[in-house]
Structure 1
């Protein structure tokens, strides 16, 4: 065993832990259960290997405070932390199998159940009039969206939600491929969320995503008059069991829709939106013009 961190070190860790725990309560309640389960497993594996927290932290490149936070379920492990700990502790992938669940628990509570369905979807079609859809957002754009939350979120929560949003984007290239369609309002593309440089990067990213063979990106031009999307954003999803579900959210509240009549209406609306939006080629040219500053 290594040297004890000392009273001052222990006090500093304890003060940070108490501060973090109080802040977590203010920003969304107790930490998710999967973080605690992961932490207990990490602690068990560490002790089996005869290591203290300082030794594990040194071996994987993290501080004792970070290791303690993960073990106590107050902080989610990042993929790099998990990969390093799994290797050093010779865990044979035991920690890595929990990583997707750990990452999913970083999402806002109202979205977690739908995110689980989304990750395994056969197809996902969405209409987003005011923001670039989360599955297509760059890190800079996503961070700007979360940083603008009201009431304000701490930097830690902004980081956590941003990481989780980027993690969801594995759906774009997952095997087997999912069929993905995005209709984005032109207003969302012209609104400078995060500033000009963030938007330039975002436009380029949209073009790259739209070039994937399982992804279609269409733009609903401004000035079309009334259309079915005026009632707000929504998603139509087909699960791996071939069930069709709808989803919509507003002001931090999400709702999964499963009734046959409602799903039928969602499908009809999406079909009409697809016909009224610019086609894929026209949409790409519009985004190219925005990215080129013309």
Structure 2
């Protein structure tokens, strides 16, 4: 994913924006959106307004109003704000923005964002490409659009928004300790085209200079290392617990057992030791940027 907005708006004469459909397989999300829709309809009917009349008053089409009220479309924050104002709800409708804030995003992504939001330390090695927390919107969009079977544009926008939402972690206070190791090849693949590639490199330079972030690159001239089997992630929490996962260990499942976590930490520690230092990494990224 900020895990924040959701909705439906009449744009450019009534075009239906992608990325705001309700996921029918997300039971909790369906329930939230349906409940919000019922509340809006109840307020509208209590005000004696027809759907078309209400839509015209808030700048939405009648069709979109019916979709929102019927729980088939997630209302944008602007929809809820305007509805609250027009219907004289005194903040009761606008307050539902928090209820629908996260349901725009797939449940798996919401769960991941929730775990990341609780972590005080995150360590991540990515064998191919860039970690989702490091990606620009254009980079993420290019990756999703390249998937096969092809995603619909609605699905692409939904997942890009969800991935960007997770990056609110960089704004958290107190700031968590974040450590990333990526392969040098990830810096040199022009995903999204030259201009997007440059934006991505600039974003890495920006993130790499944050005081709570350690960003390292594994140079291509290094020989075999413990991350060759796949990604490694270890997240630690305030209460002393932790969770880890690696594609190359424990059948790729998440683990919380102390012994298994130590194995992942050992592998990650070795990878960090063999990678370029954060200072050397920023110099390399700047060099690649200058060559683009």
Under TM normalisation by the shorter chain, which class is it?
0.7 to 0.9
* C-alpha displacement of 1:262: 1.5
> Residue 290 and residue 29 in structure 1: after superposition, are their counterparts in 2 closer, same or farther (change >3 A)?
same
Count matched residues. Answer: 267
Structural mapping, 1:220-239, within 5 Å: 220-239=218-237
Corresponding residue of 1:38: 33
Structure 1 unaligned spans of 5+: 1-15
2:102 is equivalent to residue 101 of structure 1: yes
* C-alpha displacement of 1:57: 3.8
Q: Secondary structure at the match of 1:206?
A: helix
Higher helix share: 1
Q: Scaled by the length of structure 1, what TM-score is found? A: 0.79
Residues in 1 aligned to 2:237 and 2:72: alpha-carbon distance in whole angstroms? 32
Q: Scaled by the length of structure 2, what TM-score is found? A: 0.80
Residues in 2 aligned to 1:56 and 1:175: alpha-carbon distance in whole angstroms? 41
> Residue 87 and residue 238 in structure 1: after superposition, are their counterparts in 2 closer, same or farther (change >3 A)?
farther
Q: Deviations over 1:184-203 (max 9, x none)?
A: 11111111222221111100
* C-alpha displacement of 1:240: 3.5
Corresponding residue of 1:243: 241
> Residue 223 and residue 100 in structure 1: after superposition, are their counterparts in 2 closer, same or farther (change >3 A)?
farther
* C-alpha displacement of 1:156: 0.3
Q: Is the 8 A contact 1:127 1:234 kept in 2?
A: yes
Picking from 133, 143, 146, the partner of 2:144 is 146
Residues in 2 aligned to 1:112 and 1:156: alpha-carbon distance in whole angstroms? 17
* C-alpha displacement of 1:111: 4.5
Structural mapping, 1:1-294, within 5 Å: 30-49=25-44, 50=47, 51-82=49-80, 84-85=82-83, 89-92=89-92, 94-103=95-104, 106-107=105-106, 109-248=107-246, 255-293=253-291
Residues in 2 aligned to 1:254 and 1:36: alpha-carbon distance in whole angstroms? 32
Residues in 2 aligned to 1:44 and 1:254: alpha-carbon distance in whole angstroms? 43
Residues in 2 aligned to 1:100 and 1:242: alpha-carbon distance in whole angstroms? 29
Corresponding residue of 2:11: none
Q: CA RMSD in A?
A: 3.0
> Residue 189 and residue 56 in structure 1: after superposition, are their counterparts in 2 closer, same or farther (change >3 A)?
farther
Residues in 2 aligned to 1:48 and 1:161: alpha-carbon distance in whole angstroms? 32
More moved, 68-77 vs 268-277: 68-77
Q: Deviations over 1:207-230 (max 9, x none)?
A: 111122222211111120110111
Residues in 2 aligned to 1:214 and 1:82: alpha-carbon distance in whole angstroms? 36
Structure 2 unaligned spans of 5+: 1-15
Residues in 2 aligned to 1:168 and 1:101: alpha-carbon distance in whole angstroms? 11
Q: Is the 8 A contact 1:204 1:291 kept in 2?
A: yes
Q: Secondary structure at the match of 2:114?
A: helix
Q: Is the 8 A contact 2:36 2:71 kept in 1?
A: no
Q: Deviations over 1:42-70 (max 9, x none)?
A: 43145225254445544444433334333
Q: Secondary structure at the match of 1:231?
A: coil
Q: Deviations over 1:75-112 (max 9, x none)?
A: 33445545555565433553132244324xx23x5444
